[in-house]
Amino acid sequence: MNKDDNTQYWDLIIEGKTSLFDLKFNDVWQYRDLLALLVKRDFISFYKQTVFGPLWFFIQPLFTMIVYTFVFGNLAGISTDGLPQPLFYLAGITAWSYFADCISKTSTVFRDNANIFGKVYFPRLIMPLSIVVSNLVRFGVQFLLFLALVVYYYGAGVDLQFSWFLLLFPFLLVLMALFGLGLGLIITALTTKYRDLTFLVTFGVQLMMYGTTVIYPLSSAPEKYEVWIAANPMTAIIETFRYAFLGAGSFSWNSLGYSSFAISVIFILGVLIFNKTERSFVDTI
């Protein structure tokens, strides 16, 4: 306060009406300490009362890989582009699991945090961002498991082709995060009025997986469905992921460019819808 004119200066001004395009990214940066605390909370609270704790990071993808290898590889005889079946499936599982976790957990942000949102101010975008960042820990552990399997098969004499496309890995990770976050923000905004969407998320994500090249390569997809499978932005990401680390897959700059554009649009749309909904969602949740 200035003693001469009794004028008060505030570090933060909370306004009731703001522009739809005022995304408050500056506020998010100022609350980065809160983001770090929420990430730590998510990690500790989720595994605190489990028997195996963080070992579930390894157990889940391993069991999923074994089931996929038995069902889709051995029983169904689906092609894996000449790659060892466990390695092929684990590559798809590692990439898909991160995306699926991001969309599933961010899709219930408003419902799960209604009490907190109604009591204290902080940039609401902090909550879904903390979910995306905390999921990186799980992805990192599963990715190390994938690399260990790559090293094992490479040492066993399997011809795995590595290339400079490995440099695209950080970009692929960002695309997966933005895609999961964008779809999650759209869904959580819609569920403030349409609660039924909550029950469809898990089912919808599972169906979407079968429309992505997680359990089969794009090269073996039926021709009449190939265009629809390629239209899924996650298809180019998973195909590029396999191509970079294993030397197999259908890589295309056009496909990756399309996925990047589509994901950017979905992310921006998700943030705008989230920004509009968070102003009044407490009255409808």
For 64, the token pair is: 């999923």
Distance CA 96, CA 187 (A): 19
**73-77, 113-117, 189-193, 197-201: the lowest-pLDDT one:** 113-117
Structure confidence by residue, pLDDT tens digits, 244-268: 998 888 888 999 999 999 999 999 9
Residue 18 has pLDDT above 80, yes or no: no
Distance CA 228, CA 99 (A): 19
Structure confidence by residue, pLDDT tens digits, 33-85: 877 887 777 776 666 655 555 677 778 888 999 999 999 988 888 888 888 99
Helix segments in the chain, DSSP class H: 25-30, 32-47, 56-68, 85-106, 109-112, 114-117, 126-155, 169-190, 197-210, 223-231, 233-246, 253-277
Distances (CA, A) of 31 to 12, 85, 123, 130, 203: 12, 44, 8, 11, 34
Distance CA 83, CA 63 (A): 19
pTM of the model: 0.83
Please say whether the beta carbons of 128 and 185 come within 8 A: yes
